[in-house]
Amino acid sequence: QGQLVESGGGSVQAGGSLRLSCTAASGWSSDVYWRGWFRRAPGKERERVAAVNIYGTTSYAGSVKGRFIISLDDSKNTLYLQMNNLQQGDTGMYYCAARDYGVVEYNYWGQGTQVTVSS
């Protein structure tokens, strides 16, 4: 699988919304199991924000549950993260990632897209 590519980041005021998109440059791995979104704030550890597996099971960080929605389009080509009611604490670099069956660590990553939320 080639690199993952994210888009859709930007600067938004608190309460606003953004939708991030992620595609696999040369197609998703045939063994992919989980696709997800991670974020990292300056000086902080990376955290998993949301993930979805090939069966549609989703998982969200408690801080974003009810505000963010992860989804995959019908063709399974594009992964989305719809972010609603954004808060200053959501500011950070957002990364798309995926992992294969039997792999604990996410083994495919994008370059990141910056999300900045202002008051």
Q: What is the mean pLDDT of residues 35-51?
A: 96
79 beta partners: 22, 72
Q: What is the mean pLDDT of residues 27-46?
A: 94
Greatest extent of the chain over all pairs of C-alpha atoms, in Å: 42
84: tokens are 């609603």
User: What integer pLDDT is reported at residue 70 of this predicted model?
Assistant: 98
1: pLDDT strictly greater than 70 = no
Cα separation, 61 vs 74, in Å, equals 24
